[in-house]
Amino acid sequence: MVGQSSAPSPLHAAAAQRFRHATLNGLPTFAPASMAALVEVAGDGEGILLAVNAEKIARADPVTREIASAHLAYPDGIGAVLALRRHGVLATRIAGADLWLELVDRYASTRSFYLLGATDEVVTAVVERLRQRHPGIRLWYRSGYLTPAQEEDLRGEIQERRPDFVFVAMGSPRQEILMRRLYAIQPAVYVGLGGSFDIFAGVKRRAPRWLRDHGLEWAFRLGREPARLRRLPSYLRFLALLGAGRL
């Protein structure tokens, strides 16, 4: 239901005080100076961290616009970085695949975490690696393949556990819709991660560092996952909007 996230979250308020921003096709998007700056803000508030890329900007559906307006949207893709720069906002790409691990490493000893997404095998492997990386870490988890009854159980568990961070790796827009529902019943820091669990578990390969540094991770993923070609119209629409100065 549209309207659930209309009130600004603490994360949005904190970002508004610290970071510059611009509205990209209806998505207010902040430009943290660095990954560390975003991690620090995330540790002091509650809300949804929304990863913004070319596809989300081009699509800009009502739910995504609503989350961006009330929470903390940041430039996850090179398209968002270029669009922010067109508005005179100096931006650096902050990849969600790196951000969630930075959050874990920074707050493992003081906060609790809930991992939601991927298959049972993948999320279990992720949890095992995190426990090796941070012995004693407090976390709970479950697969992202939920029946309606399991989603109801999830809501109850989130309310009971009250984790500080909830990582949701389901892909868009499903993860954003679920994060908004969960935030409405239990405030925390919710982070959408797409396929990040698969990468961390070693199921999928990430683009080499030099491609990431040159803003070409999207091309690598497109080449390795032909199914992503269905997203090509969104990328073309983004380029048209950017070229016409309509962002």
SS3 letters for the chain? CCCCCCCCCHHHHHHHHHCEEEEECCEEEEECCCHHHHHHHHCCCCEEEEEECHHHHHHCCHHHHHHHHHCEEEECCHHHHHHHHHCCCCCCCCCHHHHHHHHHHHHCCCCEEEEEECCHHHHHHHHHHHHHHCCCCEEEEECCCCCHHHHHHHHHHHHHHCCCEEEEECCCCHHHHHHHHHHHHCCCEEEECCCHHHHHCCCCCCCCHHHHHCCCHHHHHHHHCHHHHHHHHHHHHHHHHHHCCCC
pTM assigned to the model: 0.90
Does domain 10-200 match CATH 3.40.50.360? no
pLDDT digits (tens, 9 = 90+) for 14-73: 999 999 999 999 999 999 999 999 999 999 999 999 999 999 999 999 999 999 999 999
Mean pLDDT of the chain: 90
Give pLDDT, residue 95.
Answer: 93
pLDDT digits (tens, 9 = 90+) for 196-231: 999 999 887 766 776 676 666 666 666 666 666 677
Residue 2: per-residue pLDDT: 45
